[in-house]
Amino acid sequence: MQDVTDLAFWRLLEAYGGADCYVTEYIRVYPNSRIGPEIERQIRDNDTGRPLVAQIAGEDIPSLARIAEDLQRLPIAGIDLNLGCPAQVVCRKNVGGALLKDLARVADILKTLRPLISLPFSVKCRLGYADSSSFEDLLGLLNQYQLDWVTIHGRTVRRGYAGQSDWEAIEKAARILTCPVVGNGDISSPLAAARILRESPLAGLMIGRGAVRNPWIFSQIRQVLAGKTPLLPTGSQVMEYLFRLREATDLGPLGRGEQPHVERIKKFLNFIGDGIGADFLYAVRRASSWSEMESIWARFLDHDRPMPLIPAPKLS
């Protein structure tokens, strides 16, 4: 997740159980581009003990090939091609999810990258761009290139994050693709996640917003799979997480002071607030100082009641 899931956040997740694997923010690839020094530092300094997959986004084939070769000199566990980002600033450049409008281009990219990448090579995609009418064509294309796995987000690009992720479509894709499939989209409940892992043909789950909202979720899923009741954090424990998140998001002298830091943490609170409640979300979005923010956190979270941190269902 861009500007969210960096090394500082991976380290924070480890304090709550951690994921099995982490994925970098996307590395934007274009002519004459290089791996950003901050991304490279995070890759080299990864001390979580977990494998790290480098994510690339681009459409210029020679540049993608060059960056893929450079990445393989770094301590990564694999390379993932982003065909799913719905952000318009990305799609306007024919990158990320926009490439799903041009499957011939996708084929050319995969034809070039697959022989060059000796590490595990994966693709993350959505069900299509405007609609899912070409989804099976995409799956047939992906089957041609011996990918090590495919991650599928159960919405179209145009859908963004509205409505519900289509898990029936994801599971259908898992029966069509010859490589393992990882499902993505709206994983907030450890019980539902464990059910998917037990009962579906999926090989795994990718959790983004749900992990920001609830860093305990990976441990909770493991507890359910082991036949245990998942342990829920109390309000006070969620508040402690927010203070640790504040520390993890502090950019130091480069942050240019209190106000930019307050605004930066709101990127995380937009996800976290969905699991706490609309009143909390309304309040933190309007806070302009740490004293205001801390007062809001205490008002909503200074208690010992268990918190599921599961958002209300979204409207279509």
Q: What's the rounded Cα separation, in Å, for the pair 67 and 74?
A: 11
CATH code at position 194 = 3.20.20.70
Q: Residue 296 belongs to what domain range?
A: 235-301
Domain count, the chain: 2
- Output phi, psi for 179, to 5 deg: -110, 165
- Helices 235-248 and 258-272: angle between axes, nearest 10 degrees: 140
Residue at a domain's end among 225, 253, 277: 225
Q: What's the rounded Cα separation, in Å, for the pair 30 and 101?
A: 19
Same domain, 115 and 175: yes
pLDDT in tens, 159-196: 999 989 999 999 999 999 999 999 999 999 999 999 99
pLDDT in tens, 84-108: 999 998 999 999 999 999 999 999 9
Contact criterion met (CB below 8 Å) for 174 and 202 = yes
What is the average pLDDT across 252-258? 72
Asked if residue 254 has pLDDT above 90, the reply is no
pLDDT of residue 255: 61
Catalytic position from the list 21, 85, 91, 125: 85
Contact criterion met (CB below 8 Å) for 182 and 206 = yes
Asked if residue 316 has pLDDT above 60, the reply is no
- Percent over 70 (pLDDT), the chain: 98
Q: What's the rounded Cα separation, in Å, for the pair 112 and 105?
A: 11
> Could you tell me if residue 166 is inside a domain?
yes
What mean pLDDT value characterizes the chain?
Answer: 95
- Output phi, psi for 231, to 5 deg: -80, 125
Same domain, 186 and 274: no
- Bridge partners of 82, per DSSP, are 124
pLDDT of residue 113: 98
pLDDT in tens, 264-301: 999 999 999 999 999 999 999 999 999 999 999 999 99
Same domain, 72 and 101: yes
What is the average pLDDT across 215-244? 98
Same domain, 57 and 194: yes
What is the average pLDDT across 250-258? 75
What is the average pLDDT across 304-315? 88
Q: Radius of gyration over alpha carbons of the chain, in Å? A: 20
pLDDT in tens, 14-64: 999 999 999 999 999 999 999 999 999 999 999 999 999 999 999 999 999
Closest CA to 76 of 106, 115, 35: 35
pLDDT of residue 252: 72
Same domain, 133 and 242: no
Same domain, 21 and 115: yes
What is the average pLDDT across 188-210? 97
Q: Is 91 annotated as catalytic?
A: no
pLDDT of residue 1: 73
Three-class secondary structure assignment of 133-160: CCHHHHHHHHHCCCCCEEEEECCCCCCC
Specify the pTM: 0.94
Same domain, 239 and 202: no
Q: How confident is the model at residue 204 (pLDDT cuts 50, 70, 90)?
A: very high
Contact criterion met (CB below 8 Å) for 301 and 295 = no
Q: What's the rounded Cα separation, in Å, for the pair 204 and 181?
A: 7
> Could you tell me if residue 314 is inside a domain?
no
Contact criterion met (CB below 8 Å) for 21 and 46 = no
pLDDT in tens, 54-64: 999 999 999 99
